[in-house]
Structure 1
C-alpha cells in the first residue's frame, strides 16, 4: 500500500514514466549517416554506405568449415543465423570539379535496409545531379541496381556510366541469360534495367582494361574472375594512390589470410583467386590506399603482408587537411 505522504511524488513518477513510454520511438534510432571523407594526394574520397547484407559462410570454398569459423570468431565479425554481416560500399572520388562515383549500390534490388547510397551522398553534401561519371567495377546487382530509381529513371541523370566491355557483352546480352543457370537469370534482367536509362540517353561507355581516357586519369586493372569483366580502378600512384577494387574479396576475416578461398558468386573461381593474389601483392607492395566494396565501412585502409599471406589495416579516423 502507498502511504498518503508519498502520493504526490509517486504520481509524478508515474506521469513521467507514462510520458516516456508515450514518446518512445517504435524503432531504434538510426546510426550516424554512412559517410566518411578521406584525402589522399589531390583526391578527396567519400565512402558511402549502401547498407549491410548477411552472407553465409557456406558460400566459401577452399578452406575447412572449422577454419573459416575460427577466423570469423578471431576477427569478432558480427553475424547471426542469417549469416555474416557484410557491408556494401560505394565511393565518391573528387578531384577539382569532377565527381566520379565508383559503383552505385543495390537500389531497390535487395529489399529494405539497403539502397542508401543516394541519401548518404546527400548527407555528404552532394546531389546525385552533380555526379559526372559512374565507374562500375562489374555488373552484379549490388553494384549496379542503384543506377535507377523505383520508377525506372536515372538516379544520376548527368552522369556517364562506364562498364568494361567483357561484362557488358556478358550481362547485357539476352543470349547469355538464356544459357545461364535458371536461378541466376534474374541478375541479367537487373543489369539491363539498371543501365537502360543511361543507354537511352547515350551515356554509356564501354572500355577494356588498360585503355586510356577514363575519368580522373583512372587506370582500369584487369581483375576478372568474379565476373568476366571485373575491373579495379587505380586513381593516382604510389603511396597516394587509391585502388577501388570492387569484389576482389568478400570475407575480410578469411580471404586476406587465405586468398585461395573463393566465393560461390565467382564466375571463374580459378581466375578470381589469381586476381585476388595479384592485387593483394600489388596493393601491399605499392602501399596503395584501398577502397573495398565489401570491407567493413568505410572500407578504406591498407593491405600488409602477414604470415605468408595478408592482413587488412583499416584507416584511422582523421580530419581532412583543411581541418587540421
Structure 2
C-alpha cells in the first residue's frame, strides 16, 4: 500500500478528538517549564563494543484501547493473561525512551522525548541527560526516527530555541518533506493541524545544520539508517555498529510490547498506513529473530533492551537482564 494523503488523513480521522486535543495535535508550547525541572531522571547505561549507551526514560503515556485499529478485547485479554502487563482505565501505560550514545569522543542522541508538549508524567529526558553529566550543548548529533511530538518535542526549549545548540539534526528526506507539505496540511481537519505545527516548530531551529537522509545508508559514524515506513512515511530505524557488537534502534516499530509482539498485525490510529506498518513490523521482527539482534525501541519497557524470539506465527520479546553490559 502506498502512503498518501488519504492514508494519513484516515489515520487522523480514526484518532479520537480528545486524544488529539490532549497532546498529539495540541499546538500549545506553554506547558510549565518547571515541570521539566521537577522531573525525576531515570537512566540506564551500558557498554556495547566501543560505545557507551544510556537509555533515557522520558515518562509514560496511556495507550487507550480505542486507539488500536480493530481492537479485539478477547484476544487482548488472552495475551495479557500470559504476562504481567495490565490495563488501567482501558489503557496500557507505554514508556517513551530516548538514547544517548557516546563513542569516539562524540555524543549523539536518538530521539529527544516530549519536553513539555504532552502533559504531566513526561518530559524527563533532559533531567536524565543532566544525571548522566551531559550538557545539551555537548551533543554533536541528533538522529530522529520520525517527527512525532514524543520523539521531536525535546528538540526545542519553551521559547522555541534549539535545545541542542551545537547539534546537527539528521532525519529522512521523506519524513521532512511530508510534514512540510502545505497541501497535505491544508487537507487535514483544522483541529488536527497541530501535528504539523509541532513537527515544523520542533525542527525549525536546525534548518541550517540539517542532514536529510536519502533512503538507507550512513546516518552518522557507526550508524546505518534503515527504512521502516508505515507508522509515518519516513519512519527510520538506526543500526549501531559498535565494533564487535551491534544494536538496532527501531523507533516506533512496536508501541505496545504487551500486545504487538503476540499480535503483530495490530496497528494504532497514528499509523499513517496501517497495512504497511504491519508489513514492516513483521519483516523487521523476522530479521531481528533470524539474526539474533539486540534491539531497543522508543516504547519498549525500560530499560528497553532485548531480543526477538519467533513464536509460531507471531513473536515474543526476551528482555535483557538489568545488569546487561555492567
TM-score in same-fold range (> 0.5): yes
- Alignment correspondent of 1:220: 225
- Alignment correspondent of 2:120: 112
1:158 equivalenced with 2:166 (yes/no): yes
Contact 1:34 1:120 in 2 (8 A): yes
Q: Partner of 2:259: helix, strand, or coil? A: helix
Q: Partner of 2:278: helix, strand, or coil? A: helix
- Alignment correspondent of 1:316: 321
Measure, in 2, the Cα distance between the counterparts of 1:53 and 1:278. Answer: 26
**TM-score, scaled to structure 1:** 0.84
1:38 equivalenced with 2:33 (yes/no): no
Cα 1:241/1:66, change in 2 over 3 Å: same
Contact 1:89 1:293 in 2 (8 A): yes
Contact 1:238 1:288 in 2 (8 A): no
**What per-residue deviation string (whole Å, max 9, x for no partner) do you get for residues 10-63 of structure 1?**
xxxxxxxxxxxxxxxxxxxx9973100122222211100000010102222255
- Alignment correspondent of 2:29: none
Cα 1:33/1:115, change in 2 over 3 Å: closer
**What per-residue deviation string (whole Å, max 9, x for no partner) do you get for residues 175-204 of structure 1?**
3211223343111000111111112xx111
1:173 equivalenced with 2:164 (yes/no): no
- Alignment correspondent of 1:297: 302
- Alignment correspondent of 1:211: 217
Measure, in 2, the Cα distance between the counterparts of 1:40 and 1:222. Answer: 23
How far is the alpha carbon of 1:286 from its aligned partner?
1.4
Q: Partner of 2:159: helix, strand, or coil? A: coil
Q: Partner of 2:195: helix, strand, or coil? A: helix
Larger Rg: 1
Larger displacement relative to structure 2 (306-315 or 136-145):
306-315
**What per-residue deviation string (whole Å, max 9, x for no partner) do you get for residues 139-191 of structure 1?**
11110011001111111111011110111001123332112233431110001
1:276 equivalenced with 2:289 (yes/no): no
- Alignment correspondent of 1:192: 200
The answer to which structure, 1 or 2, has the higher relative contact order (CA under 8 A, 6+ apart) is: 2
The 5-angstrom pairing of residues 31-70 of structure 1 reads: 33-62=41-70, 64-70=72-78
1:267 equivalenced with 2:272 (yes/no): yes
**What per-residue deviation string (whole Å, max 9, x for no partner) do you get for residues 284-311 of structure 1?**
1112211110011111111111233211
- Alignment correspondent of 2:151: 143
Larger displacement relative to structure 2 (76-85 or 117-126):
76-85
Cα 1:43/1:121, change in 2 over 3 Å: same
- The count of residues paired between Structure 1 and Structure 2 equals 289
Gaps of 5+ in 1: 1-29
Larger displacement relative to structure 2 (62-71 or 118-127):
62-71
Contact 1:238 1:287 in 2 (8 A): no
- Alignment correspondent of 1:6: none
Measure, in 2, the Cα distance between the counterparts of 1:248 and 1:319. Answer: 23
- Alignment correspondent of 2:28: none
Contact 2:170 2:212 in 1 (8 A): yes
Q: Partner of 2:295: helix, strand, or coil? A: strand
Q: What's the RMSD between the two structures over aligned residues?
A: 2.0
How far is the alpha carbon of 1:73 from its aligned partner?
3.9
Q: Partner of 1:226: helix, strand, or coil? A: coil
Q: Partner of 2:113: helix, strand, or coil? A: coil
